[in-house]
Structure 1
Amino acid sequence: MYKKGLIVAVVAMILLAGCNTKKPIVDEFTKYELPLLEQKGPGQITHRIHHDGMYRSEQYAASSTLVIDPDYYKSREIARGDVVYYKTNATEEEINNKKRAEYDVSRVVALPGETLKVKKGQIYINDRLLDTLYGKEYYTDGFINGTDQALNLDQQILLLEGQFLLASDVWWRSGFTEPQPKETIKGKVVGWMKSL
């Protein structure tokens, strides 16, 4: 009887532990690859990439040309996983000296009101694992999450209402932005064009 009671207690503890675990945030919709476009559509603009912070394939290489839809968010909400075109906080001097660009592109990883932390190269949103291609650290030839080399952010980042957190796809090259107000996001990346 004691043995049976012990087994029941152990099973109950396992079930209770499982109930307390927060489910991961899963993004099954975001794909890394952008469509290759022959030309931009009406009202769309192009942006030439100046750095390799998003580079995991040719489409995001330095000097690649991305197609931006500046009207995209007039009828849609900004979503986690979107690659957005945004106005940086670069100074006029940095822009003139080509140290930083006035506009850049990066991926939305956290939304207004959320808290983000990074442990061993893995993003957690409100203490829930972000299970997606951009939720873990990519380093040159693969993912390094869980290793001693992986990024840890000592402090959580709390986003206020109307703020978004953006990150490059290759963190060690460009990393995370400061929380961005919605007004700085000027459009969505909808495709890319091969440079001539």
Structure 2
Amino acid sequence: MKKIFLIGLLVLLSACSSKVASSGMETITDNDTKPKVELVEPYESSLLLEWHIDNMDRGDHDYETSSHPDLVVDPNDKNVKRGDVIYFKSPDFTIDSNPNFNMPEFYISRVVGLEGETVEIKNGQVFIDGKKLDTFYSAALNSGMGQEEYFEKVEPANRGEEESWKEYFATTMEPIKVEKNTVFVLGDNWWRSADSRYFGVLPMENVEGKVLGYKK
């Protein structure tokens, strides 16, 4: 009887696991990348970068050097992993909805998708190979706030058209395959960012270095 019970339990667990997988509930986590931008001591070869664009702002003017010290970039570290913020030469592209947009020659964004993976955005949430990416940079946010928190904390007079924000928080992007020697990048503040949603995957040859943090 005990043996039959154990077999039944294993079958049940297997069925549950299959159900979770088939329903897209599997997740990929990033427990190594921390939300806080660290203070770091520059190396002799480090680049010091002034950055005045709010594409990475999560509520504390993150990565903006008008509110924080210069950014330290390691030009010798091209071994990027998911979660890294990189400094890169901007690809040539145009945004159909904003043909007058002028992309800076160099830009910073966070690596989200790696070579061989497929990245998709559904209802404001990033998925990697069909699995939910569960981390602080994997969803549509405004200054670090999701839709519910944003509508709760920000007064209507200060947040603009409600339907436009709802549409933003439900951002969708068709699957993009990350080709060999490329990465998929996103800004942390999507609505203020020009990234792989617009120009596709980023060739690794465009990467100038890894952003390590603020200058100590």
Q: TM-score, normalised to structure 1's length?
A: 0.77
- Check if 1:72 corresponds to 2:77: yes
Render the CA deviation track for 1:112-148: whole Å, top value 9, x for unaligned.
1111111111100000000111111112351238x95
Partner of 2:160: none
Instruction: Give runs of aligned pairs for residues 20-35 of structure 1, distance below 5 A.
Output: 20-22=19-21, 23-35=26-38
- Check if 1:43 corresponds to 2:45: yes
Partner of 1:184: 206
User: Given that residues 72 and 188 in structure 1 are in contact (C-alpha distance below 8 angstroms), is that contact kept between their aligned partners in structure 2?
Assistant: yes
User: Given that residues 111 and 164 in structure 1 are in contact (C-alpha distance below 8 angstroms), is that contact kept between their aligned partners in structure 2?
Assistant: yes
**Counterparts in 2 of 1:154 and 1:168: CA distance versus 1, 3 Å:** closer
- Check if 1:144 corresponds to 2:147: yes
Partner of 1:99: 102
RMSD: 3.1
Q: Which has the higher helix share?
A: 2
User: Given that residues 122 and 135 in structure 1 are in contact (C-alpha distance below 8 angstroms), is that contact kept between their aligned partners in structure 2?
Assistant: yes
Distance 2:65 2:181 in 1: 30
Offset of residue 62 of structure 1: 5.9
DSSP 3-state at the match of 1:152: coil
User: Given that residues 44 and 70 in structure 1 are in contact (C-alpha distance below 8 angstroms), is that contact kept between their aligned partners in structure 2?
Assistant: yes
Distance 2:86 2:137 in 1: 14
Partner of 1:122: 125
**Counterparts in 2 of 1:99 and 1:193: CA distance versus 1, 3 Å:** farther
**Counterparts in 2 of 1:175 and 1:90: CA distance versus 1, 3 Å:** closer
More off after superposition, 11-20 vs 21-30: 11-20
Render the CA deviation track for 1:155-193: whole Å, top value 9, x for unaligned.
211111111010000111115322001111111111113
More off after superposition, 28-37 vs 78-87: 28-37
Distance 1:185 1:14 in 2: 44
Partner of 2:159: none
Partner of 1:95: none
Distance 2:135 2:82 in 1: 10
**Structure 2: stretches of 5+ with no match in the other structure:** 1-7, 94-100, 149-164
Render the CA deviation track for 1:84-132: whole Å, top value 9, x for unaligned.
01110259xxxxxx93321111000001111111111110000000011
**Counterparts in 2 of 1:192 and 1:81: CA distance versus 1, 3 Å:** same
Partner of 1:158: 177
Q: Which amino acid aligns with 2:86?
A: V
| Identical-residue share of aligned pairs (%) | 29
Offset of residue 18 of structure 1: 3.0
Partner of 2:138: 135
- Check if 1:172 corresponds to 2:188: no
Across the two proteins, how many residue pairs are aligned to each other? 177
DSSP 3-state at the match of 1:155: strand
Q: Which amino acid aligns with 2:87?
A: Y
Q: Which amino acid aligns with 2:72?
A: V
Render the CA deviation track for 1:26-62: whole Å, top value 9, x for unaligned.
100101212224x632100011113101012234226
**Counterparts in 2 of 1:30 and 1:154: CA distance versus 1, 3 Å:** closer
Greater RCO, CA 8 A, separation 6+: 2
Q: Which amino acid aligns with 1:70?
A: P
